[in-house]
Structure 1
Amino acid sequence: MSRRGSQHSDFNRPPQSSASSSTAGGRGRGRGRGRGHSAPSPPAQTSYPPPAQTSSAASLAPSTAAPPRAVAPVPASAGPGPSRPPPVQASPAPVSGSGAVTTTAPSPAVQSVTSALEKQLTLETSAPSSSKANRYPDRPGFGTEGRKIQIRANHFQVQVGVQEIYHYDVAITPEITSKKVSRDVIDLLVRAHRESILGNRMPAYDGRKSLFTAGPLPFEIKEFKVKLGDNDEPGASATPTSSRKKREREFRVTIRFASKTDLHHLIQFLSCRQLDCPQETIQALDVVLRATPSENFDVVGRSFFSPALGPKGPLGSGTEYWRGYYQSLRPTQMGLSLNIDVSARAFYEAIPVLDFISKNFRLDFRRPLPDQDRVKIKKALRGIKVQVNHGQNIRRYKVTAVTKEPLRALMFNDDTGTKKSVVQYFQEKYNISLQYTQLSALQAGSDTKPIFLPMELCQIVAGQRYTKKLNEDQVTALLKATCQRPREREDSIRQIVRQSKFSADKFARHFDIQVREDLVTLDARVLPPPMV
């Protein structure tokens, strides 16, 4: 719905010629000579228009005042002459000086021009201080042209039973940049303290700084300590070892009351009784409906992706597409509506690193990597998470670089301080004879404490979205795989809603939110084809 600001047509009207002309009244000069027997007549007395009696808006126009004119006084000793109207005194007569200053009333023509300008330049009501003070224009109608039909839209009506939503600010120390890790921390906190400190509430967390509940928590502010097992960050040793104990990181979580949201304002807005859209309330309800899929699927923006949501397929160059769906809560003329649509996105294939390199670069693994190829591989793999499966535990690492030296030349100090090669370490520790020792190694960790990973033992972790620009072949393959007819698209959306099971969703039930599983039916019109 669009809003048009109110316009005053008077400001768009061209200025009146009678008021804008500076020559409407001339400056007259009157001369008279005394005919008496005494001293010569006094000099001409200049009269001015009366003091301004109009509004400040009218005084802005210089042409509204009567033009000055000279009035010659008639001496008492003069003989009878033609009659003239006496001057109007605006102030007491002066007691000194060579002449008396008098004023005359403006002519009727000047008064009419002044009155017209006052009406044009004076606003009847003051301008609104905000655009929200204006009312939405009424919809003129729903159309009359064309053939009337009914269509189904990918919207699902939502009913909310809860009356109040409580908003709490969340601060996690040390700060976490990953939404997934933040959700894991809050999930551990809720599972540990829900039935006790949290008053049996089911908080909905947005992954950042906000947490919402369907009722108040038993405290205004409280700090918790949460210990999270770390399986993603590399350890501090020089080489990967499966015997390393799993680290635990401790976080301090502070939950502080922020505000309380009354759904009465949302109801007033949906019924067109309030112009200001309560975005905070809609955002809170949207977070509630997104809480469960955020736990189960990979989140990218406002979309969710998973191999469980549909078949995946290759895009080439070590990438593949995953199917998913977009979800957003919207206010509509019918009330709250959940918009759901199918989507697809490129991800890295969960394949060995050497296979990924083979699909992107034509290299002979029996020879050392040329420096230019090493730089290309570093650019392609930097930031990607890989996992090694040679030990008892699966360890994951984020690639930071590719070594300049081949694997057989890399040396490090083990736990006892003995210097040995990486090739020797894997032979003694895991009984693995590395084959491609002439290749460079992947490097994880920091520059001061690097972790060297043989490429032949690494595999790309599944579920990592491909953020680089797709090439032409990849775009073509993605469009071909995801293009659907309307009936197929509708069936896919229905399947997504059935899999979501909103009626059994723990967060939706706690907030008393109901989502209908039927697509919304709308009136539409088929317009006749235009004449060409």
Structure 2
Amino acid sequence: MEKRNVYTNSFEITRLPGNNFFHHHEIDPEIGHRRRLAFRIIEKMQQDNPAVFNPRALYDGRSNIFAPREIPMSNFDVQFSPRRVYKVNIRSVAEISPQRVQHLISPQGAKDPTALMAVNLLQIIVQQAPNLRHQAPLDSKSFYIQAGSRELGQGLQAWRGYFQYVRSVRPVIGRLLINIDVCNTAIATGRDRYGISRFQKSPQLLRLGREQAEWRNLRAFLKSIEVSISINRGDKPRVKKISDLILQAGHHEFEINGAPTTVQTYYQQRYNRSIKPELFGIRSGKDSVFPAELCTVVPGQAYKKKLPPELQDTLVKFATQRPSDRLQQIKDAVGDSSKQIFDYKNSDFMREAGISVSVNPVEISGHVLMPPTIRYGDSTLNVNRGAWNLIGRRFSSPSRISSWAVIVLDQHANLDLVEQFTRKLVEHMERLGICMAFILLHRYGVAHILHFLVINPDQRIPHFEQGSGQDPAKRPSTWIKAYHLHCDASEESSSIYTQVKQWGNILNMVPTQCLRAGKWSGLNDQYCGNIALKVNAKIGGINSTVQWPGGMGNFLQQTMVVGADVGHPGPGNTVRPSLTGVVASVNADATIYTAFSNIQEPRREIIDKLDDMMFKSLKDYYEFNKKLPSNIVFYRDGVSEGEYDEVGRYEITAVEEAIKKVPDNIKPPGWVPKLTFIVVGKRYTVFFSHSPQRYSLAHIIIYRHHIRFFPMRDHQNELKSGNCPAGFAVDDQITNAAYPDFYLLSHAGIQGSTQPPAHYVVLRNDNNLPMRNLQELSFALCHVYASATRSVSIPAPVYYADVGAPLFIHVPLCIDFKPHQRVCSRAEIHFNPTLNYADELVTTATAVARARSSTSRRGSAVSWKLN
């Protein structure tokens, strides 16, 4: 096993605070959740009482104040105007001594329930000066700099910034580190007066609102954006946040002094200002309506929602950096005082606390795991730099396609070229072992291609059955489920994709594979191979297996591997339900899975009804193997900050409850499978402390992890991407002493991008698997993802739970699986499109009810019961 030294984007705190700090609670809880106002209140309180707050106290934006000296218990009246007076009640809570900070970096300190407050203190001290310098909120997790920005369009720019989150100060054994990373976001420029340049191609759309889809897009695009409202030149502008848009705002009616009036009349009479009544307006709060022509987007604010598709590629290209360039930028930000980015050594807050930070990134050592051997049919092959080749191979278990068809959903397509590609694809599938029985003929009986020239996409898919050349009344009821449907979509791919999947997965239970126009036209062999991988998996085949490292093969003979995740709605969408996904292996190769999904309240991270889904997974395992598993390895994708304690309390308990539900007549005496529960994700990591006052289990805090690894100079050219090799693992030096955890970079980096490692945190290990075995198992599971000939970033079951597995349900009589309930992100396409989730005025309860109503009307589950 090869050792490897690397740099990380972490910097050591070389000198810890030498003075005591006093922790105080403060502020009315009704104000504490309004961060911007809370900061203003605390700032004014300190300005009005300089004798009490000298030197300055530090505020975390919530309910904690830290001061170099103890503040007597006091009540302060903070007055902004005669009508705006806020009460701040301060009481002393605890004293944070230098010894307590030093205690953080000991094995016992990581488990100390008081440790987190010391970490909070250090984090606030470290981030105060940079955030103030760059005009970011004092509790902001990042700040952005306009230098080097790039235009995105539609009133947005791409800015590069730096990450310094509430947990970027990280205690490890023997030292404290600060984790710094580069981040990128879209920023509103304020140049577009209405912020609606993307819609100005069709002025009539804005005036009349005839195109409802475009109107919904405009509302979603502008919702929560701050605008500056100036009625007359020279007036002091008012800043308002958009809560909604109003069509033809000038005609909008409201009451003033009990008399009805319109927005147009009000502005004419009150301000002598003529407005265009046909243009839309913005609503702020519940009742205030302002004409859009008086509004300007406030520049410099981050656009926090999902970008329109046409802007996403530009932002991704801007954000992409080679590892060496990324590391140099981080080093310059920390160590180059002339750039004045972090400039820790000139921070008044750090000098007063006696803190110093090294300007050199931390150097650590890791090891490179050997990749598993891949089996195809009767042959094996080695993995080279995270990838392998299909040439000359046959699938391990190729399936059979009894009949199939091709639909071309592009009226401009070259049918001769489509037929050439189809024949080439068939050749590839047959070489890989897929049996292609026959091809459904053209509706005129003369070609392989079934072609529709219907302009409206909504009418294309439902017409397929009518175009099949058979009278529906005479067609056998099973005929529609006999073939694999292959669709060639046009540029309207997103809309058509959803329709195809709803038609195939919901209405007819027909596996479908969509190809986008332009992707296949080059008749590329590799592309054909990739399509064959997906098709074989969807129709019940197994593409490849791995030779498990060490003794893990015997272990997996009696093990069920589980992946679980929660898929949340995109940024800015507060009403679309969250979707949970659980997949569980039923064979020893971990290539066949049973899958379950559920709908729950938006943004809820804990998986509801996990005990039920796990119980059904155990039953499916029993039906497939005629025995129950002796071990369960449960991979849980990263959860949101502040809810990790609930994972320990609820989800591990839910698995235990599922085990108890298994009927006595099928389980051996004393059967209780050993559980290994691992949190895994590229996005989140954890701090740990026992909290017996609140829960009997561990109290764990999660935050988004930004750990990156950078090869040293002698290895930078080893891979074209400049990343560390696939299989690079670190299980000490930057990990926390409170629990077993490790970082694993399991996939090869693409050129021009810095690849993030996955972080694995072991919450429970009844199997007592050594850390090295857990690393090898996780790395091997990254090689069984069916749709790729390369290792992926997280274990395949976690990937399936996240993006939605191909139809890995091969237990014909024991499935509780609804065709519309694919896993997490795939489940979204099975909602009724008329639900209109872009309308953010829909209440959460209504949205969830609509989703459940939609799914309950579509298809039915195959129910079964163990005797």
Q: TM-score range by the shorter chain?
A: 0.5 to 0.7
Counterpart CA distance in 1 for 2:218 and 2:347 is 44
Relative to structure 1, the CA distance from residue 355 to residue 276 in structure 2 (aligned partners, 3 Å threshold; closer, same or farther) is closer
- Three-state SS of the structure 2 residue aligned to 1:402 is strand
Is 2:8 the counterpart of 1:153? yes
Q: 2:159 aligns with which of 296, 301, 322?
A: 322
- Three-state SS of the structure 1 residue aligned to 2:328 is helix
TM-superposed CA distance for 1:211, in Å, is: 0.9
TM-superposed CA distance for 1:413, in Å, is: 4.3
Counterpart CA distance in 1 for 2:274 and 2:280 is 16
Q: 2:74 aligns with which of 222, 232, 255?
A: 222
Counterpart CA distance in 2 for 1:394 and 1:418 is 28
TM-superposed CA distance for 1:256, in Å, is: 1.0
Residue identity opposite 1:506 in structure 2: D
Counterpart CA distance in 1 for 2:118 and 2:58 is 13
- Three-state SS of the structure 2 residue aligned to 1:484 is coil
TM-superposed CA distance for 1:355, in Å, is: 4.5
Checking the alignment, whether the CA contact within 8 Å between 2:25 and 2:93 is kept in structure 1 is yes
Q: 1:210 aligns with which of 57, 64, 67?
A: 64
TM-superposed CA distance for 1:329, in Å, is: 0.6
| Residue 187 of structure 1: aligned partner | 43
Residue identity opposite 2:244 in structure 1: A
Counterpart CA distance in 2 for 1:488 and 1:176 is 40
| Residue 185 of structure 2: aligned partner | 345
Deviations 1:136-195 (A, max 9, x none): xxxxxxxxx53665x43222211213242211001236525332221121112222223x
- Three-state SS of the structure 1 residue aligned to 2:55 is coil
TM-superposed CA distance for 1:510, in Å, is: 2.0
TM-superposed CA distance for 1:361, in Å, is: 7.6
Q: 1:397 aligns with which of 232, 240, 244?
A: 240
- Three-state SS of the structure 1 residue aligned to 2:125 is helix
Moved more, 313-322 or 494-503: 313-322
Deviations 1:119-139 (A, max 9, x none): xxxxxxxxxxxxxxxxxxxxx
Residue identity opposite 1:402 in structure 2: L
| Residue 724 of structure 2: aligned partner | none
Counterpart CA distance in 2 for 1:307 and 1:192 is 32
| Residue 460 of structure 1: aligned partner | 297
Is 2:136 the counterpart of 1:298? yes
Counterpart CA distance in 2 for 1:404 and 1:492 is 46
- Three-state SS of the structure 1 residue aligned to 2:84 is strand
Checking the alignment, whether the CA contact within 8 Å between 1:388 and 1:457 is kept in structure 2 is yes
Q: What pairs with 1:161-176 in structure 2 (closer than 5 Å)? A: 161-172=17-28, 174-176=30-32
| Residue 312 of structure 1: aligned partner | 149
Counterpart CA distance in 2 for 1:282 and 1:367 is 54
Residue identity opposite 1:460 in structure 2: V
Deviations 1:186-242 (A, max 9, x none): 112222223x123x232111100011123322x1x111122347xxxxxxxxxxxxx
Relative to structure 1, the CA distance from residue 293 to residue 252 in structure 2 (aligned partners, 3 Å threshold; closer, same or farther) is farther
Counterpart CA distance in 2 for 1:421 and 1:529 is 70
TM-score by length of 2: 0.37
Q: What pairs with 1:509-524 in structure 2 (closer than 5 Å)? A: 509-523=351-365
Residue identity opposite 1:518 in structure 2: N
Unaligned runs of 5+ in 2: 373-381, 384-867
Relative to structure 1, the CA distance from residue 279 to residue 406 in structure 2 (aligned partners, 3 Å threshold; closer, same or farther) is closer
TM-superposed CA distance for 1:395, in Å, is: 1.1
- Three-state SS of the structure 2 residue aligned to 1:197 is coil
Deviations 1:405-455 (A, max 9, x none): 5515657648xx998654455456656543x332233233443xxx33221
| Residue 356 of structure 1: aligned partner | 196
Q: Which has the higher contact order (CA 8 A, sep 6+)?
A: 1
Is 2:188 the counterpart of 1:336? no
Checking the alignment, whether the CA contact within 8 Å between 2:12 and 2:358 is kept in structure 1 is yes
Counterpart CA distance in 2 for 1:193 and 1:353 is 42
Counterpart CA distance in 1 for 2:328 and 2:80 is 41
Q: What pairs with 1:80-159 in structure 2 (closer than 5 Å)? A: 145-146=1-2, 149=5, 151-158=6-13, 159=15
Counterpart CA distance in 2 for 1:385 and 1:275 is 41
| Residue 110 of structure 1: aligned partner | none
- Three-state SS of the structure 1 residue aligned to 2:158 is strand
Counterpart CA distance in 2 for 1:187 and 1:154 is 33
| Residue 407 of structure 1: aligned partner | 250
Moved more, 419-428 or 463-472: 419-428
Relative to structure 1, the CA distance from residue 287 to residue 486 in structure 2 (aligned partners, 3 Å threshold; closer, same or farther) is same
Residue identity opposite 1:388 in structure 2: I
Checking the alignment, whether the CA contact within 8 Å between 1:386 and 1:399 is kept in structure 2 is yes
TM-superposed CA distance for 1:349, in Å, is: 4.2
Checking the alignment, whether the CA contact within 8 Å between 1:347 and 1:463 is kept in structure 2 is yes
TM-score by length of 1: 0.59
Residue identity opposite 2:357 in structure 1: V
Deviations 1:282-320 (A, max 9, x none): 222112212233434435986312334x43334455543
- Three-state SS of the structure 2 residue aligned to 1:469 is coil
Name the count of aligned residue pairs: 359
Relative to structure 1, the CA distance from residue 223 to residue 366 in structure 2 (aligned partners, 3 Å threshold; closer, same or farther) is closer
| Residue 86 of structure 2: aligned partner | 251
Counterpart CA distance in 2 for 1:152 and 1:319 is 34
| Residue 23 of structure 1: aligned partner | none
Q: What pairs with 1:336-485 in structure 2 (closer than 5 Å)? A: 336-352=176-192, 354-356=194-196, 358-359=198-199, 362-364=202-204, 367-370=207-210, 372=212, 374=215, 376-391=217-232, 392-407=235-250, 413=256, 422-423=263-264, 426=267, 432-434=273-275, 436-447=276-287, 451-485=288-322
Q: What pairs with 1:10-29 in structure 2 (closer than 5 Å)? A: none
Residue identity opposite 2:84 in structure 1: R
Q: Once superposed, what is the RMSD of the aligned Cα atoms?
A: 3.5
Residue identity opposite 1:253 in structure 2: V
Deviations 1:495-526 (A, max 9, x none): 32242221221221221111122222334667
Deviations 1:306-363 (A, max 9, x none): 334x433344555433321112111124511111111112344424453415448844
Is 2:140 the counterpart of 1:288? no
Percent of matched pairs sharing the same residue: 23
Counterpart CA distance in 2 for 1:294 and 1:228 is 24
- Three-state SS of the structure 2 residue aligned to 1:487 is helix
Checking the alignment, whether the CA contact within 8 Å between 2:25 and 2:65 is kept in structure 1 is yes
| Residue 524 of structure 2: aligned partner | none
Checking the alignment, whether the CA contact within 8 Å between 2:153 and 2:311 is kept in structure 1 is yes
TM-superposed CA distance for 1:267, in Å, is: 2.4
- Three-state SS of the structure 1 residue aligned to 2:31 is coil
Larger Rg: 1
Relative to structure 1, the CA distance from residue 411 to residue 153 in structure 2 (aligned partners, 3 Å threshold; closer, same or farther) is closer
Deviations 1:20-57 (A, max 9, x none): xxxxxxxxxxxxxxxxxxxxxxxxxxxxxxxxxxxxxx
Checking the alignment, whether the CA contact within 8 Å between 2:249 and 2:289 is kept in structure 1 is no
Relative to structure 1, the CA distance from residue 210 to residue 487 in structure 2 (aligned partners, 3 Å threshold; closer, same or farther) is same
